[in-house]
Structure 1
Amino acid sequence: MAVNSLSGSAVSYAELHCHSTFSFLDGASSPEALAQEAERLGLEALAITDHGGFYGVVRFAEAAREVGLPTIFGAELTLNATEQRTGSTDPDGQHLIILARDPVGYACLAALLSQAQMAGEKGRPEISFAAVAEAASHRARGHWAVLTACRKGTVPLALAQRGVRAAEQELRSLVAAFGVDNTFIELWDHGDPLDSDRNDALYQLARRVGTGVIATNNVHYASPQDHALSTALAAIRAAKSLDQMDPWLPGAASAHLRSGAEQAHRFVRYPQVVGAAAELGKQCAFDLALIAPQLPPYPCPPHPEVSASRTLTESEYLTLLVEQGATRRYGPRHAERFVGAWAQIDHELQMITALGFPGYFLIVWDIVEFCRRKDIYCQGRGSAANSAACYALGITKADAVRLGLLFERFLSPERDGPPDIDLDIESGRREEVIQYVYERYGRSHAAQVANVITYRTRSAVRDAARALGFSQGHQDVWAKQLDRWNKVPQAASTQQGESVSQPIPDTVLSLASQLEELPRHLGIHSGGMVICDRPVIEVCPVEWARMQGRSVLQWDKEDCATAGLVKFDLLGLGMLTALHLAVDLIAEHHGVVVDLAELPQEDAVYEMLCRADSIGVFQVESRAQMATLPRLRPRCFYDLVVEVALIRPGPIQGGSVHPYIRRRKGEEPVTYLHPLLENSLAKTLGIPLFQEQLMQMAIDVAGFTPSEADQLRQAMGSKRSSRKMAVLRERFDVGTSQRGVTATVAEQIWEKIAAFANYGFPESHSVSFAYLVYSSSWIKLHYPAAFCAALLNAQPMGFYSPHSLVQDARRHGIKVHTPDLHRSDWCATLESEDPDEQAGGVGSSGSAGSTGSAVRLGLSSVRLIGKTLAKQIAAGRPYADMEDLMRRSSLNQAQLEALATAGVFGSDNRRSALWSAGAVAQSGSDRLPGILLGLDAPQLPGMDDWERAVADLWSTGIAPEGHPTKFLRADLDRRGAVTAIELSELANEAKVLVAGVVTHRQRPATAAGITFVSLEDETGIINVVVSRGCWARFRPVVASAAALLVSGRLEHSVDGVMNVVAEKIQLLPVVAASRSRDFH
């Protein structure tokens, strides 16, 4: 409560009209900042009333709860809008603010917002006053409070444009729709000369009609210093410069949160309007927790032992399913194959039931069963792999009992919310699973989760430059000279160290740094879905997504979890698609049925990984992983679990990588701070890598229960709680003292746990991924052609481009053929190198009975063709000639010429095919078939090997018959350049010159500004290390060139890992397959 500086008395006030950054370019402060400022000012309550949605209410509620601020939930609707808010200086439509008086009002308003969003288009909700009035006349009656809003409100707008009588008519319409006790005239004063006259008229109007009247400040930012950002956002929203927007921008920094005392001073002419706002705020304030939904009841079958009329409870059905699965996995209770398995199963079932989550497990099991019935590859991962129950249900492939994984990492009584089960689904069929969820639980009760798209460095600089009046050319140049992995302040400091032709002005960088991380718009989360027991639109509004025909919630996954919406992550994983395709190809061409769950553990697979022969292999194909494999030398499955976890930002930042490898190689002894730590750390040689180890350390040295250990993990996580940490620290000190651990050692262990908590990787997650590492490695070793074809057909996925995958296959002796009109299917297929096997023509996937020793690229690999058209072309065979193909497949000239360039017509002379393609295309579709003349090409010279490679790269992005550097090798040899394979013959510290096509650029956050560039030549991959200074000197080339010539120094370790430390970088003039894949 604020103190009135005039009288010294406290002035109660609640702000009921406030926009956050989730009004998307119409609010300059985050919900968190607004809540903190409102508490500082002593407000009784605060309403967030963003345009068209509840986007920021969860973050607002959470922040307000932290500071003890009562929360009000509302929205500003736009009635009768005919244009989007973006791109217009003053978008049309009339505004109306609705506040929810209670959870019923909230549910009705959420449904109304959804109705408006879905009736319109993305970015333009569509609703009429009649529709709002209709909603208010039913369930919402008495549960909403309506404010007349800003200058664009129905009443103020009528007053300004048509006078008092028209304004009174609009106000009486509001009263008729919502009731006199729920309709409020809103006064605001931003210091505009016309504000007083407008407020006088509105105040008298309210008295005449008998409605309430309240003060607001029509807030768009927390404090006056945010005014400049607010005006810049208005310019960005309108796609104008600040100069162009000047007539529409406020003249003063007035639209900020104000205290009750300041508002009382401003509205001294209108008695009680400030107090009335506080009173209405008290009436409408409630905690968002009151709207938390539940999961829908799971449809359980009849009880098998009681009667058909008595269905099993969720707990009974889950117990039945788990016990059936446990019997298959572990044997019967009286003869369990692994001691303690059934005891763990009973413990988990008891906790799942006690916490009320049987329905959650049944829903996940149901989704997995659907995948199994439809032969869709699916795998549970995340902390679910810590659960023996999930293993028994077939949700995960990790045996939590044998691996000794802590169930409490997955579920414990103190855990806030339901457990987290992520399902990886083959990406090509994920949509089937999503549609099943919709059908099973109803579209009204299921929805996809949003992803809040925020400003990044380049987009922030572009929009800042536009707002400040710089040309499109300046925007493009400045955005391109920034590294995508830097924040704006880093980009500014980097710019100072580089010689750039057009440095970015400080004003642009300053504004861009304020824009960075602000919400820009909504996207769709990669796999999050929610299911609830009521229409989901009563919990969170939905709106159209950018993807055609898709709708999305207005909350992201964290918001959903905080609000109590149970989220299921159905994540598309390209490797599962590739594995399924490979298994099908192996069965078709080799007659071998591969069961990924039963693959034998083979030394040859691990030997391949020790050689870092892992291009295309899941999770271990990056530069850092390939550099670690020869040093770690994995020899068993658990080594793969460690490998997956080791090369992560956390272990790298925590300094775990090198000590672990040294201990692994016997170069340093395995030691422990205390003997009690051996139980938790022995399997990782005394080096903590996993979150579960943090928990086990607390259990072993301090006597924590598993639940307490999970509390410790959560308290030490990214959202650290000092209060919880203090309580747990006291518990830790008592426990270690009781176990004879000295205070000094206990302090060291605590510090180690505290430091480790921020970067520990879940062991369960790593175990789940390790299965895919081994499966993909096994197939790559035994069936390399099928592996290559499957990876090509599963694109986009993985670390390497199709061109790099094909080059790797060629290095393994696999022949890869260009697309062929008569032999290619729509996708990549296998065929035999034996001419006799190929003589029979082409079936759906190459020659029937083919041993599949070669890969044939599919028609869809040709640019401009795509999957749908490629299938149409393949289905329409045979074709009489090129004219027949064009007519029946409805090809345009560009598509026909792309096919000719790719060599699909089987002629050795692609120039002739191109000539014919042009002639056919130019003949027009209005000619009768068979009467075209002059389609036969004249005698034209054929393409040489280099020209064919260029044509292949242009048309398919793949050069099956030769790498681009192969054709430059003679010149490169004269210049003294060495190949990737020749580097191994050179001594450490040797001066070298290397050349290759850029496949990747990486600048990890852990690399202190170092950039890692991967070059590929015809013999392999070359790792180039580019220091910060070298990057600055050669940035125009190294940041964007498709191929590079690098002079530098060779680093050659005893493990065979080689890097070239760059000293000079030049452009290599060569046609590359595609853009590099750059990561950070």
Structure 2
Amino acid sequence: MGSESYAELHCHSQFSFLDGASTPEALAAEAMRLELSALALTDHNGFYGVVRFAEAARAVGLPTIFGAELTLGRTAPPVADPDPGSAAGESHLIILARNPRGYALLARALSEAQLRGEKGAPRASLAELCALGGTAAPAVDRNHWLVLTGCRKGAVASALEHYGPAAAADQLALLVNVFGRDNLAVELWDHGHPLDSVRNDALMQIALRGDVDLVATTNAHYATPAERPLATALAAVRSRRSLDEIDGWLPAAAGAHLRSGFEQARRFARYPGVVERAGELGQACAFDLKLVAPNLPPFPCPDGLNEMGYLRRLTERGAERRYGPRHRERVAGAWAQIDHELSIIEQLGFPGYFLIVHDLVDFCRRNDIYCQGRGSAANSAVCFALGVTKADAIELGLLFERFLSPERDGPPDIDIDIESGRREEVIQYVYQRHGRHYAAQVANVITYRPRSAVRDMASALGYAPGQADAWAKNVDRWGSLIAQLEDNANTVAPEPDSDAIPQVVVELAAQIEHAPRHLGIHSGGMVLCDRPIIEVCPVEWARRENRSVLQWDKDDCAAAGLVKFDLLGLGMLTALHNTVDSITEAYGFAIDIAEVPQDDAVYDMLCVADSVGVFQVESRAQMATLPRLKPRKFYDLVVEVALIRPGPIQGNSVHPYIRRRNGLEKITYLHPLLEPSLAKTLGIPLFQEQLMQMAIDVAGFSPGEADQLRQAMGSKRSSERMERLRGRLFEGMAERGITGDIAEQIFDKLAAFANFGFPESHSVSFAYLVYSSSYLKRYFPAAFCAGLLNAQPMGFYSPHTLVADARRHGVVVRTPDLTASGVGATLEWVEGRAAATADVPFPIDAFPVGGADVPQPAVRLGLASVRSVGDELAERIVAEREAKGPYVSMTDLAQRVDIDRTALEAMATAGVFSNCTDRSGANLDRRRALWVAGAVAETSADRLPGIVTGTDAPSLPGLSDRELAGADLWATGVSPDGHPTLFEREHLASLGILTAAELRTAPTDTRVLVG
């Protein structure tokens, strides 16, 4: 299309966050259509989009240049302004990396600017850039950048506009001193504005006098002119104003789009050589992002061992504990499998990965933090030997190649579940152990969804906030906006005065669906590098204190070759730890949940769906399945976890499995060779590992090939690879005598199953927690209830439901008390005295089994459970009580702890002061406590004694049982003595309204009311 060799050196994508309208993929495609020799991506203050850009450009054969537009002089987050960086004292500067070293230096410069400022306000300066990659840098770090003077907010153009040519020349001279004449170019651009030529003429003269290169750019903010309306709408969103309000800021024409070399040569004909020079510099700066891919940091090993030697030592030590010595192994084939896995790990070069994961788990163990490796790592005997996972992959027959094989791309994937309350300790350990410059958390790019897209575009077009919200609520939160509106044609306004969404709003909103809005933080992904990570991907502050986050998401990290570790918070591990601590305190018996024995009484409980609070099987769907499945052993729980998932439900696996489980359907196989892989699930495929084993058994696939088949079948983007593997599969089946319809049926079953199969390794890891939580619920319901309450919010049920379930199991639950309560729920054997190991009335010295009747303490609700109190105030109240003795009255509390009226009144409503007295010695029941709470709140330590009146309550009637239940629910969300509806039961029954329990005996096919 263009006869001129031209490279675009200044281009913004959607990753300039509301200052670019096109995706990196669209920019790369348009650049190829225009026959550009290279394209630079120069988003604001970051490399947010470079991975997607690099992948898209690589796919179409476009040379890539990596750069950024830095904001200099910023001291605070940007104001709501359509023109980024327009605050006083700020200027823009384009820096392009000439090579991988220049990329690393620029990434470091961006990181240091981000970390030097607060979130959203990177602080870069010419002095710092000069020392890092400019004329003051070490010789080895000079001449790796190409610097452009930038847009109208660049220092040179801005000085020219506001102060004239002399000031602009001074700014150019300053840049020459900072970066060197050979690393600098004056940028000309033409968006069709009447004054563009005047400005460019002046800039050319300044460049010629300063003997500095001149280049032409399009200063592109979108790929094609058609995207100009979206770009202006995004400018309105960025400024938090309407398009009408910012009309004066907006360019008159759609000029900020990519152009061909031919068109640029025509536009800049009066400036000889500027287009060709852009092409020359662009080609000189182009390189592939693969050149910056890092490795893991080296792991320090003792005794002169290398990483593989140290991993082998740790694994063999663990294997001896798990399986016995080599010559007397307790599990047949265990050591052979260990050796096989270690050889694969060594072959692929991943010993350091396993050592890092082992180190994280060992840190948790040393610091009494509950954790558990899960995911496909549960398929590994090495992970089991190292203590990373709880699943014995050999005994369970799990395929290692689902986790790691020579045929797989990339490193293994080990997720570590950590008790949610202490995950931050592990994250900070990673920073401390490896250094903040070598470790960072992975970003989560927050993108536009249908609702947010409609809301923002409606606001940009000037519609009132209430109207924009109303339209946003008319569409679903997820899914495609266009698909939703096609399903409901009345949602789009046919006429301007309609109440439905205007067509122009819909069109703009559809264009920004899935466009990046801002950065969040991934739920647990962390990346480690062997070099400063800030030289691979810029790092910036996250919203949470002491957290730094990469500018890339997990997919970007994987594509760029960074290794991610997932440190995931799991509320159930917190609840289990709380429960075990309570058991130790109450009974003097330390439970190791990894050693909990298998027990029929636990399975009896699950068979009747008594699973409120139990991990993974407490949902209504799981509760409905438990009595039909009738679990009697551990592997039944593995199946139970996997059954109630979208995949098996959609794949019609649930009912056939249960029918076979109960002998209502014969167990059959399409071919006898399928029996080894499907026997443990009664001929019904449930797990991804079974797909792999089926391919091994019927077609002779190697385990690595079988994993490739699993990946290909589960991917929508691997049709070519799938066709190759399909041919290999049919060839292998034919060699084993499987042809015709049977072969086709097996393939169809594999293909359908690939889309819904659940990883068996995940299910096994979860099943351990299912059983552990079930055991604790069965034998220690009081401690289990307290553990769940102290881990809130988590799970399916509210604290009230958890307490009601505990009461059904005979547990006494007591209201919060000023003297007896801790911060959270605690256990107590007698009124007002917490359980203590030194004085336990019912010591236990072994795991109870066989349905043993274990005496249960009462659960005392904590002060933090009271509305308006919370953890921080509750901790201060308890700390003061422990330091200086019990509180003798409400007034005593108000004078010793800074507490407001709202909290005092909520505590009074909850009955916290029921064991206190007022000045007359009268018991302070709830009504009397409420009467005086407002006055007592004014008697703080800084007030003179005796000046507040009303701190003594008159004689008042106590609350009725109905009022007490209502007060408990209002104040704590929990009614220990029953729900208020109990007091209406007689009236409800007279109206024919049934309880949930009475539904069992209600006649079939009759309509009833339940309440």
Scaled by the length of structure 2, the TM-score of the pair is 0.92
* 1:159-178 equivalences in 2 (<5 Å): 159-178=160-179
1:343 alignment partner, SS class: helix
Which structure exhibits the higher relative contact order, with contacts defined as CA atoms closer than 8 Å and separated by 6 or more residues? 2
CA–CA distance in structure 1, aligned partners of residues 990 and 236 of structure 2: 57
Contact 2:490 2:500 (C-alpha < 8 Å) held by counterparts: no
Contact 2:76 2:118 (C-alpha < 8 Å) held by counterparts: no
Once the two structures are superposed, what CA deviation does each residue of 1:406-450 show, in whole Å capped at 9, x if it has no partner? 111111112221111111111112122222222222222222222
Which sections of structure 1, spanning at least 5 residues, go unmatched?
5-9, 303-310, 996-1080
Corresponding residue of 1:286: 287
- Picking from 665, 670, 678, the partner of 1:668 is 665
CA–CA distance in structure 2, aligned partners of residues 235 and 710 of structure 1: 49
CA–CA distance in structure 2, aligned partners of residues 178 and 804 of structure 1: 67
Q: 1:248 to 1:968 in 2, by over 3 A?
A: farther
Corresponding residue of 1:948: 964
Q: CA deviation at 1:641?
A: 0.9
Q: 1:264 to 1:626 in 2, by over 3 A?
A: farther
Once the two structures are superposed, what CA deviation does each residue of 1:819-852 show, in whole Å capped at 9, x if it has no partner? 11111011101123xxxx336x457899965864
* 1:886-897 equivalences in 2 (<5 Å): 886-897=894-905
Q: 1:633 to 1:12 in 2, by over 3 A?
A: farther
Q: 1:713 to 1:136 in 2, by over 3 A?
A: same
Corresponding residue of 1:978: 994
Contact 1:15 1:47 (C-alpha < 8 Å) held by counterparts: yes
| Count of residues in correspondence between the two structures | 975
Q: 1:847 to 1:159 in 2, by over 3 A?
A: farther
Q: 1:679 to 1:21 in 2, by over 3 A?
A: same
Once the two structures are superposed, what CA deviation does each residue of 1:963-1008 show, in whole Å capped at 9, x if it has no partner? 243344345334432221111212333212234xxxxxxxxxxxxx
1:927 alignment partner, SS class: coil
Once the two structures are superposed, what CA deviation does each residue of 1:923-957 show, in whole Å capped at 9, x if it has no partner? 56642246644310123343333333333233222
CA–CA distance in structure 1, aligned partners of residues 275 and 752 of structure 2: 50
1:880 aligns with 2:888: yes
Q: CA deviation at 1:779?
A: 0.8
Q: CA deviation at 1:676?
A: 2.1
Corresponding residue of 1:562: 559
1:570 alignment partner, SS class: strand
Contact 1:831 1:847 (C-alpha < 8 Å) held by counterparts: no
Scaled by the length of structure 1, the TM-score of the pair is 0.86
Contact 2:588 2:837 (C-alpha < 8 Å) held by counterparts: no
Q: 1:919 to 1:594 in 2, by over 3 A?
A: same
Q: CA deviation at 1:873?
A: 0.7
- Picking from 458, 465, 473, the partner of 2:458 is 465
Contact 2:895 2:939 (C-alpha < 8 Å) held by counterparts: no
Once the two structures are superposed, what CA deviation does each residue of 1:260-302 show, in whole Å capped at 9, x if it has no partner? 3333333333333233222222111111111111112111111
CA–CA distance in structure 1, aligned partners of residues 970 and 483 of structure 2: 36
Q: Which residue identity is paired with 1:745?
A: I
- Picking from 386, 391, 402, the partner of 1:393 is 386
Once the two structures are superposed, what CA deviation does each residue of 1:315-344 show, in whole Å capped at 9, x if it has no partner? 111111111111121122122222211111
Q: 1:499 to 1:217 in 2, by over 3 A?
A: closer
1:696 alignment partner, SS class: helix
* 1:635-714 equivalences in 2 (<5 Å): 635-714=632-711
CA–CA distance in structure 2, aligned partners of residues 823 and 496 of structure 1: 62
Corresponding residue of 2:21: 28
- Picking from 745, 750, 763, the partner of 2:760 is 763
Which sections of structure 2, spanning at least 5 residues, go unmatched?
843-854, 915-922
Q: Which residue identity is paired with 1:935?
A: T
Mean Cα deviation higher: 155-164 or 387-396: 155-164
Corresponding residue of 1:854: 858
CA–CA distance in structure 2, aligned partners of residues 765 and 806 of structure 1: 30
Q: CA deviation at 1:962?
A: 2.2
Q: CA deviation at 1:179?
A: 1.8
Q: CA deviation at 1:493?
A: 6.3
Corresponding residue of 2:121: 124
2:552 alignment partner, SS class: coil
2:246 alignment partner, SS class: helix
Q: Which residue identity is paired with 1:42?
A: E
* 1:584-595 equivalences in 2 (<5 Å): 584-595=581-592
Q: Which residue identity is paired with 2:147?
A: V
CA–CA distance in structure 2, aligned partners of residues 496 and 76 of structure 1: 43
Once the two structures are superposed, what CA deviation does each residue of 1:143-188 show, in whole Å capped at 9, x if it has no partner? 1111122111111111111122222221222222212222122222
Contact 2:896 2:940 (C-alpha < 8 Å) held by counterparts: no
Q: Which residue identity is paired with 1:689?
A: L
Contact 2:485 2:491 (C-alpha < 8 Å) held by counterparts: no
Q: CA deviation at 1:79?
A: 0.8
1:687 alignment partner, SS class: coil
* 1:850-929 equivalences in 2 (<5 Å): 852-877=856-881, 878-906=886-914, 909-923=925-939, 926-929=942-945
Mean Cα deviation higher: 147-156 or 915-924: 915-924
Q: Which residue identity is paired with 1:692?
A: E
Contact 1:824 1:846 (C-alpha < 8 Å) held by counterparts: no
- Picking from 748, 755, 773, the partner of 1:776 is 773
- Picking from 318, 322, 326, the partner of 1:329 is 322
1:516 aligns with 2:524: no
Q: Which residue identity is paired with 1:239?
A: R
Q: CA deviation at 1:213?
A: 2.1
Corresponding residue of 2:744: 747
Q: 1:118 to 1:981 in 2, by over 3 A?
A: same
Contact 1:85 1:237 (C-alpha < 8 Å) held by counterparts: no
Q: 1:203 to 1:897 in 2, by over 3 A?
A: same
Q: CA deviation at 1:464?
A: 2.7
Once the two structures are superposed, what CA deviation does each residue of 1:720-751 show, in whole Å capped at 9, x if it has no partner? 22332233233223222222221443333333
Q: CA deviation at 1:758?
A: 2.7
CA–CA distance in structure 2, aligned partners of residues 12 and 675 of structure 1: 65
1:243 alignment partner, SS class: coil
Q: 1:33 to 1:968 in 2, by over 3 A?
A: farther
Q: 1:707 to 1:970 in 2, by over 3 A?
A: same
Q: 1:811 to 1:703 in 2, by over 3 A?
A: same
1:969 aligns with 2:970: no
Contact 1:49 1:73 (C-alpha < 8 Å) held by counterparts: yes
1:792 aligns with 2:789: yes
CA–CA distance in structure 2, aligned partners of residues 902 and 275 of structure 1: 79
* 1:117-516 equivalences in 2 (<5 Å): 117-137=114-134, 138-139=137-138, 140-302=141-303, 311-479=304-472, 483-484=476-477, 488-489=481-482, 492=485, 503-516=500-513
Contact 1:838 1:847 (C-alpha < 8 Å) held by counterparts: no
1:425 alignment partner, SS class: strand
1:14 aligns with 2:7: yes
Contact 2:371 2:417 (C-alpha < 8 Å) held by counterparts: yes
Contact 1:455 1:519 (C-alpha < 8 Å) held by counterparts: yes
1:97 alignment partner, SS class: strand
Corresponding residue of 2:1010: 994
Q: 1:276 to 1:844 in 2, by over 3 A?
A: farther
Q: 1:584 to 1:569 in 2, by over 3 A?
A: same
Q: 1:507 to 1:913 in 2, by over 3 A?
A: farther
Q: 1:262 to 1:696 in 2, by over 3 A?
A: farther
Contact 1:829 1:846 (C-alpha < 8 Å) held by counterparts: no
CA–CA distance in structure 1, aligned partners of residues 461 and 447 of structure 2: 20
Mean Cα deviation higher: 773-782 or 687-696: 687-696
Contact 1:398 1:767 (C-alpha < 8 Å) held by counterparts: yes
Contact 1:909 1:941 (C-alpha < 8 Å) held by counterparts: no
Q: Which residue identity is paired with 1:431?
A: E
- Picking from 606, 610, 614, the partner of 1:609 is 606
* 1:524-543 equivalences in 2 (<5 Å): 524-543=521-540
CA–CA distance in structure 1, aligned partners of residues 414 and 949 of structure 2: 65
* 1:1005-1044 equivalences in 2 (<5 Å): none
